A and B are shown apart, each in its own frame.
Chain A
C-alpha cells in the first residue's frame, strides 16, 4: 500500500482531496443543481415542486416589485461596502503603524466579535436602536436632548449600521495585510522626493494598498447583497432586502421555484462581481510583472 502510494503521486493527490471533494459534491454541488433545476419547474400547492418545465419564474424575477427590491439591496450593499472602507482603511493603517506586539493584540480585538453568535450580536443592536424602548433613544430623551425618538430602527440606516458592524473585521483584514506588506521605505522615498503627506498617500500608499481594498470590498459586498438576518431583525419587518424575499418564497409563500429562480439570479450576479474582481487584480498583478 505504502509503496503503491510512493510510486504514484497522482493517486496520493486524489486521496488528499477526496474527503473535501466528496463533501462539496454532496452538500454543495448537488443542492446547487437542485436549486437551479427547481427554478425551471412549477410550484406545488403546499410548497415543493411540480415536475413541469417553465421559464416563467425567471421572467417574474424582472417584475418591477422584485427588481426595485434588488436595486435597494444593491444600494444597501454598496453603502455598507463604502462605510466599511471609510472606517476600516484608517483602522488598518493605524494597526500597521503599531509595534508588532500591539498589532497582534489589535488583531485579536478585531476578531473577538466573531466568537459570539451573529444573531445575538444583531439582537444586541435591537436593544440599542429600538424606537421607543431602545437604549439610545431612551437615554437621549431622559436627558432632554431630544423630544421625539430618533428614527434609528426599522429603516435602511439600521440595516447598513448592522451590516457595517458585522462585516467590518472582514474588510479590515485584507486591507491590513496589504498595508502591512507595503515597504515603509517607499513612503520615505516619496517624502524624500518632496511629496507632502497627501501626495504620499495619493501617489504611493493608496495605489499600493488598492488590492487589499478591492479584496476587502468584495468580502463585504457579496454577503451584504445577500444579507438576510440583519434586515430581518433591524429592518423591523418593513425594510426588506432580496435575501428576505427569497426566504419568504420558501417559508411563507410556498413558492419554491420562484425562490430558486431568484437565488440562481443572485448567484449569477455575484459570480460576475467576483470574476470582475479577480480579473482586475489579476490584470494589476500582470501589469506589475510585465
Chain B
C-alpha cells in the first residue's frame, strides 16, 4: 500500500506584524506517523500546529490535510482535532459531555454517541468516570479525557500541543509510553509539539527540530541525536562538548586541528566549510573513553587521543560525569557508566588519556 500524505505544508509563512514566527516551512507527514515538532519556546512550533488546526491562517503558503487544500477553512471544518496544553476541558460539563461534544456538534444520533463515548473512555481507561467533572479528576485523568474527547471524532490527524507539560515526571514517562501505544493502536497521524527533547526522542517516528521559524533538521530520532547537522541541533538535543578547531582537510577524510596543534580525525564536516577555516567540533559526553596512562587504548587513523587531567567528578547514579581539563586548555565532560561500583574511581588531578572514535566527532560552523 502506498503511503498517503496526511499533512503537507508548502512554503508556509506566518508573520505577526514584523515578527516572522514561521519562515517558509515545508513539511510532508505521511499517514499514521508520530511526528514531532521540537524546539525552544518561540521557535514557531506551536504556531505551525495552530495553523494546521485552523486557529491561525498562514500569511502565505499552503496547507493540505488528507490531500485537500485547507485555504482559509476555519477550525471547525477541518478533519483534525487538538489536545491542548492545559487540556481546555469544559469545566461546566461532565466527562461524558466533554467527550461527546464533538459528536453532538456533528449531530450524531444519541445512541451512537453513548456507544462511542463508552468506547473512547474505555480506550483511555476512564470507564465509570463519565459523570464526574474535570475538576474532580487528577492531572493524568484530565489528560486522558482530553485525548478521548479528541480521538472520539476519528480525526485524520491528531494535534498535540505539549500535552504532558503539566504532569509530574513519573506520570509523564508513563503517559509517553501510553501515548505511543495508543497512537499505534488507533493508527491516526499524531503531530506532537514539545520542547522536551527526551519526550520527542522517545515517542516519535520522525522529528523536525525547529529554531527561529525554520526546520533545522528533520529525521528519525537516531539521526537527530547521533548525527546532528548544526551547532543548534547538537546543543539543543542532549548534551554535547564543543571544541574550537581549525579544519585541516575535508577529503578524502576529515581532519581538524584543536588548540595546541593537536590533530584529530573527524567523520563529518558540515558542507561549505573549507580547509583553513575556524569551526566547532561536537562530541557527545558518553562517546568519550577515559584510559589510565598504563592502559592500552585504541590507536589508528580513526582514533582521536588527547591527554588531560581530571578536574571534577559528579556522581549522578547511572553514570558519573567527569570534567577533564585537556592539556591544550580546553575542557570536556565525559559520561562514564557506573558498571562496577567496587572499581577505584578517578582521583582529582589524576592524568588521563581521553579517546574517542572519529565516527562520533562532527564539525559545524562556529
Contact = CB atoms under 8 A, between A and B. Distances in A.
Interface residues of A, number: 21
Interface residues of B, number: 28
Interface string B61-91: 0000000000000111100111011101111
A193 B135 contact: no
Given A288-B133, A288-B135, A290-B133, A193 B101 contact: yes
Interface string A182-198: 01011011111111100
A206 to B, nearest CB: 10
A183 B150 CA distance: 18
A203 B102 CA distance: 12
A118 B248 CA distance: 86
A193 B105 contact: yes
Given A193-B102, A290-B133, A188 B91 contact: no
A193 B92 contact: no
Among A193, A194, A203, max chain B CB count under 10 A is at A193
B291 interface: no
B101 A190 contact: yes
Contacts of A208: 91-92
Given A183-B88, A186-B88, A192 B105 contact: no
Contacts of B90: 186, 189-190, 203-204
Contacts of A185: 84-86, 88
B133 A193 contact: no
B96 to A, nearest CB: 14
Contacts, number: 69
B88 A194 contact: no
Contact of B82 (A192, A203, A287, A288): A192
B81 A192 contact: yes
A106 B74 CA distance: 30
B138 interface: no
B55 interface: yes
Contacts of A199: 105
B53 interface: yes
A203 B81 CA distance: 18
Contacts of A207: 92
B242 to A, nearest CB: 39
Nearest to A192: B82
B153 interface: yes
A191 B76 contact: yes
Contacts of B86: 183, 185
A199 B92 CA distance: 15
Nearest to A207: B92
Given A194-B106, A195-B76, A189 B84 contact: yes
B335 interface: no
A203 B74 CA distance: 18
A203 B91 CA distance: 11
B53 A192 contact: yes
A34 to B, nearest CB: 46
A193 B88 contact: no
A289 interface: yes
B55 A188 contact: yes
Contacts of B53: 188, 192
Nearest to B84: A185
A289 B134 CA distance: 9
A210 to B, nearest CB: 9
B74 A193 contact: no
A183 B105 CA distance: 20
A189 B82 contact: yes
A189 to B, nearest CB: 4
Contact of B153 (A183, A193, A203, A289): A193
Interface string B104-125: 0110000000000000000000
A192 B91 contact: no
Contacts of B101: 190, 193, 195, 203
B53 to A, nearest CB: 6
A189 B76 CA distance: 9
A67 to B, nearest CB: 40
B149 interface: yes
Contact of A188 (B75, B80, B149, B153): B75
Nearest to A184: B88
A204 B98 CA distance: 11
Contact of A193 (B54, B81, B91): B81
Contacts of B80: 192
B84 to A, nearest CB: 5
Nearest to B101: A193
B75 A192 contact: yes
Nearest to A188: B55
A290 B149 CA distance: 21
Contacts of A191: 54-55, 74-76
Interface in A192-246: 192-196, 199, 203-204, 207-208
Interface of A: 183, 185-186, 188-196, 199, 203-204, 207-208, 287-290
Given A188-B88, A189-B84, 19 more contacts: A188-B75, A188-B82, A189-B88, A190-B101, A191-B76, A192-B53, A192-B55, A192-B76, A193-B76, A193-B81, A193-B101, A193-B150, A195-B76, A195-B101, A196-B105, A203-B90, A207-B92, A208-B92, A288-B92
24 contacts: A183-B88, A185-B88, A186-B91, A188-B82, A189-B88, A192-B55, A192-B75, A192-B150, A193-B81, A193-B102, A193-B150, A193-B153, A194-B76, A194-B102, A194-B106, A195-B101, A203-B101, A204-B90, A287-B133, A288-B91, A288-B92, A288-B133, A288-B135, A290-B136
Closest 6 CB pairs of A and B: A193-B102, A189-B88, A185-B88, A194-B105, A191-B75, A192-B82
